[in-house]
Amino acid sequence: MAGKKTTIWVYMGFLFFVLLLLLGVSMGENLAILEKATKICLSCIGLG
């Protein structure tokens, strides 16, 4: 019985993750993060 409860929590956690992922993508957050990461990487190697 304990295994079944664990499985349910795993699925609920996964669904929550997917919901937050879709929410972030719909708000355009993925592009903002990519832009920030590019700026940081370019400054680290001395090009920015």
Give CA–CA dist 14/35, Å, rounded.
Answer: 27
Looking at residue 15, its pLDDT comes to: 97
Looking at residue 48, its pLDDT comes to: 57
CB-based contact 29:38 (threshold 8 Å): no
* Owner of token pair 């680290």: 44
Mean pLDDT for the stretch of residues 8-23: 96
Mean pLDDT for the stretch of residues 33-38: 86
Q: Is 47 exposed, middle or buried (0-12, 13-18, 19+ CB in 10 A)?
A: exposed
